[in-house]
Amino acid sequence: MGASTIISPSILSADFAKLGEEVRAIDEAGADWIHVDVMDGHFVPNLTIGPGVIKSLRPHSEKPFDVHLMITPVDPYIDAFAEAGADMITAHPEAGPHFHRTVQKIRSTGRKAGAALNPSTPGETLDYVLDELDLVLVMSVNPGFGGQSFIDSQLRKIEGLRQTIDRRGLPTLIEVDGGVNPDTAKACISAGAHALVAGSAVFRGGPDAYRDNIAALRG
């Protein structure tokens, strides 16, 4: 593992009463990206935050904002999240029938484009858009809530995606989200992941623990 592993703490596990302070704290503790989970209560069974919150958080960190849209429809909201300060916008092919159009829409904003795959969705779903993606986010839990346990079958998906990306000579990053802790982090990196999203594994213990928690994920 080591320092080359990108750590993207999920603010879903932060103290929502002081999100700006939390973002500054994980930035200073060594986070590479800031992961923002956007949920609509429709595509996933939870409601979180919208573009206004992202805009208000933007001044608190210069690190890339890694925004994961668990919403449907997604296309009408892409401009708003781009304007709010997202650097990467990741959407789900499961959320609508025209995912290639969604990817084109994200790229048209100048932001990096990602695809998130639910646990039951095969990596092959992305075969015909993979060359237009900067990022594939493998969900190692069913999206909607933090604090779930890692689904081991997703390691095979990571391996398969890594083989395909390497064979095709693409620069696409593989990110993993769900149940990531120091033990599962090692397995994800061994399988071929480049980036790890972690919520409770970073935020447990409060701000004084964030640096050690992030370091533990790097191995």
192 is in an annotated binding site: no
- 49-to-12, 16, 105 alpha-carbon distances in Å: 9, 10, 21
> Active site residue: 27, 66, 134, 177, which one?
177
For residue 183, say whether it is annotated as part of any ligand binding site. no
Q: Which of 27, 32, 37, 40 is catalytic?
A: 37
To the question of whether residue 37 is assigned a binding role by annotation, the answer is: yes
**SS3 assignment, position 118:** coil
Q: What number of residues does the chain have?
A: 219
Q: Name, in order, each residue with C-beta under 8 angstroms of 37's C-beta and a sequence gap of 6 or more.
A: 10, 11, 12, 48, 68, 70
pLDDT tens digits along 177-219: 999 999 999 999 999 999 999 999 999 999 999 999 999 999 7
pLDDT-derived band of residue 148, with 50, 70 and 90 as boundaries? confident
Burial of 167 (0-12, 13-18, 19+ CB in 10 A): exposed
pTM value > 0.85: yes
Domain range summary for the chain, segments of one domain joined by +: 6-218
79 is catalytic: no
> Is 166 one of the annotated active-site residues of the chain?
no
Per DSSP bridges, beta strands 112-117 and 88-91 are parallel
Q: How far apart are CA 166 and CA 112, in angstroms?
A: 20
Fold annotation for 6-218: TIM Barrel (3.20.20)
CB contact set of 35 (below 8 Å; sequence gap of 6+) = 8, 9, 10, 11, 12, 66, 68, 177, 197
108 is in an annotated binding site: no
Angle, CA 161 vertex, CA 159 and CA 163 arms, to 5° = 70
The pLDDT score that the predictor gives to residue 175 is: 98
